[in-house]
Structure 1
């Protein structure tokens, strides 16, 4: 059964005339809206910039400290993905006020004295517009997430991971700091899928993701780059530090079996490591792949760093 009393949004009412403000607030409250009342334009401006700002605002044009049109213009000028729906409250406006309001991108006008039916229609319209905008924003955010993230693990996909590595490479070049890339591969993953089923394989990938996320720093880059391949970008890490981290991962995180339903599934991870040295991430990624291949050849659970030929090692 549909709720007959839906939750109404909060409305910011900026009106310096206490009697007029009380009259408007009374009507809005009767229609189940929560009302925040402000008398000062500068305070209204600060409130509308807050992360939890009301989604609908009614501003009198003659606010002290900052006129209603000025507040609206400044809010609209800010580069924010989401604004409150802002109505300008004024007596019959002249041509100059109308022009200023249009330039300020005012969403709607309310003329004094405010007619109750007119106020209700405009507030309901504002509510529907904001609801529609939120739905569109949620769909856009969801689409952006699906485009850049792996649907199984929720990690960055290969393309998004490489974009992050390009950014980290630029930062490493500017700051002259080290950057390493670590490529992880589940040993014998195809055999695990064959023996325990693809659902168990998916569950292992998700559990491995959680293990890695708990161990990574907030600024590390972590993404899924293949069916069972994970890439980690380690800003500030030298090759020696990356090797030490890989060993700790092997001992404390990656060597533990996976408890999937009633099965206890052993699984190991091979790791290849490459040093960025400020070079293109695609080149470094290929070196990490080469190191990973040698780790696999050495046997399950091995770690192998890529080593440049001596003739190509930069002089210190």
Structure 2
């Protein structure tokens, strides 16, 4: 038996929360029947009787997440909020046509796969809907087997599209972020730095760059092993990220080296304050399975445009200042010399 609980919101939209059925249909391994039955479906029809009938057919075949509305003008806003996996759209409604709804959906979600199946009894409307971008159609009166097949096929394509899109986003994330700490890597840092400097040139403002290296990290690796060193880097990344503003970028550029990009500074004190804060948080012991670990950090500080009027010079100036801090005794910061 299938249990269906229904509630209605102020937009005239209903939500059905359903328990699964035992119906199983063979599908490719990539997208299973459970994933298809978990897809979120929106039924759009101005006739409550049609909504009830179509909902019943979907429930009988195991679909568990079904929303409904009799208000065609609310569809675009609802899709923007919920990103439905399938929209079953009646083409003939008194307040708005199905074609107008599809146009609004396109505007609301211009870059994504639009998962619309139109429901119509008119041959001309079916062709017009397909030309407007509908993925498929269902003719009235419903043929149960055909209805189920068309819904499953469209849902499977939609879920495959979402899986590919998610894989693409994951690949972009991995290409721009450090695998160990999750911080932006050198590639993403340089991209943000370039954009920040372009804005700073136009607005005639300063930018700060903190080049940080850990003191004592090699000794931790040598004594406790690289696994301990990796755990330490993760904790360092978390502390540094929490110590700066959300607008600042913290990047790991390799080994135990980090760069903090400060996009908005008015003077050198605006860069010194976060540098001092970072040095303080790094002096606190790090709790590790091997025992408390004590390290510190050295920082080289450079300001645009005084210490470098492009990316390469700015980073080089901060790097030189970092090694000055190392030579001066570590656990400190040094300010780069101004350009001659």
Q: CA deviation at 1:288?
A: 0.6
How big is each residue's C-alpha offset from its partner over 1:162-201, in whole Å with a ceiling of 9 and x where there is no partner? 1011122222223333210001001232232112211111
Per the alignment, in what secondary structure is the counterpart of residue 203 of structure 1? helix
How big is each residue's C-alpha offset from its partner over 1:130-170, in whole Å with a ceiling of 9 and x where there is no partner? 22222212211211111111111111110111101112222
Matched, 1:241 2:270: yes
Distance between the aligned counterparts of 1:22 and 1:250, measured in 2?
Answer: 65
Distance between the aligned counterparts of 1:43 and 1:79, measured in 2?
Answer: 14
Matched, 1:8 2:38: yes
> 35, 45, 66: which one pairs with 1:35?
66
Query: Please, what is the CA RMSD of the aligned residues?
Result: 2.0
Does structure 1 conserve the Cα–Cα contact (< 8 Å) formed by 2:118 and 2:126?
A: no
Matched, 1:291 2:321: yes
How big is each residue's C-alpha offset from its partner over 1:205-225, in whole Å with a ceiling of 9 and x where there is no partner? 111001011112111111111
Q: CA deviation at 1:294?
A: 0.7
Matched, 1:103 2:131: yes
Matched, 1:122 2:150: yes
Structure 1 stretch displaced more, 215-224 or 169-178: 169-178
Change (3 A) 1:282 1:267: same
Change (3 A) 1:196 1:8: closer
- Aligned pairs (5 A) from 1:126-205: 126-205=154-233
Distance between the aligned counterparts of 1:102 and 1:20, measured in 2?
Answer: 22
Unaligned 5+ segments in structure 1 are none
Q: CA deviation at 1:98?
A: 5.0
Unaligned 5+ segments in structure 2 are 1-20, 24-33
Structure 1 stretch displaced more, 156-165 or 231-240: 231-240
Per the alignment, in what secondary structure is the counterpart of residue 123 of structure 2? coil
Distance between the aligned counterparts of 2:46 and 2:40, measured in 1?
Answer: 19
Compute the TM-score of the two structures, normalised by the length of structure 1.
0.89
Structure 1 stretch displaced more, 123-132 or 176-185: 123-132
Moved beyond 4 Å, runs of 4+: 77-81
Q: CA deviation at 1:276?
A: 1.4
Q: CA deviation at 1:78?
A: 4.7
> 243, 246, 250: which one pairs with 2:279?
250
